[in-house]
Amino acid sequence: MYDSMTVVDTDELMELKKQAEEINKRIAELTAPKNIAYRCKVKPYGLPCFLDDDARNPVVFTDRHYDTDAWAHFLALGKMIHAENGVFKTRGTSWRRKPFYVDELGKNVPKKVSDLTQEEVRISAEMLEKMISIYNEYMVRMHTCVTLDCEGILTEIPVQHPESGTEI
């Protein structure tokens, strides 16, 4: 009965488990979507609007109406930090015998998020979360009220703070 079974040493078994874990980790890394948007927990606020688009409700900043133009700029910055370093060469000297340096390659910024590694995507998402938090802080500070025009009668309505729900 034992002759047909393969006997495996515990050290060999531990080594095989370690290899299997490394392979599974690498498979997960390669198959994971390279998407910065899913990794960012915060999005840039758009302009404040009525909750559920109803003028009877309070005016708030919502995650549903995030600023897609601002997001495009943040995404460009997220890719820009991964530009390759240039290769500089000397091209002659000045009259003071100081060399002129010219960047041979120029900036090579990744065009798509899929061109980034998982680590670069993680770093970009981390940076964008910090930057978007600062952006949102100033959006809240700058937009404290909206004007409601009801048949020519203008009424200023205060915007509620996103976290506390109190008026700004």
pLDDT of 39-95, one tens digit each? 888 889 888 888 887 878 888 887 677 888 898 999 898 888 888 776 777 777 777
Name the E strands within 36-152. 49-50, 59-60, 88-93, 99-103, 145-150
Question: What is the domain partition of the chain in residue ranges?
Answer: 10-158
- Name the band, by pLDDT with cuts 50, 70 and 90, for residue 33: low
What's the chain's average pLDDT? 80
Average pLDDT (120-137) is 92
Going by their DSSP bridges, the two strands 145-150 and 88-93 should be labelled as unpaired
pLDDT of 167 > 70? The answer is: no
Question: Higher pLDDT residue, 3 or 139?
Answer: 139
Backbone angles phi and psi of 25, in degrees to 5: -65, -45
For the cut 90, the answer to whether the pLDDT of residue 18 exceeds it is: yes
pTM assigned to the model = 0.65
Number of separate helices (H) and strands (E) present in the chain: 4, 6
pLDDT, residue 117, reads: 83
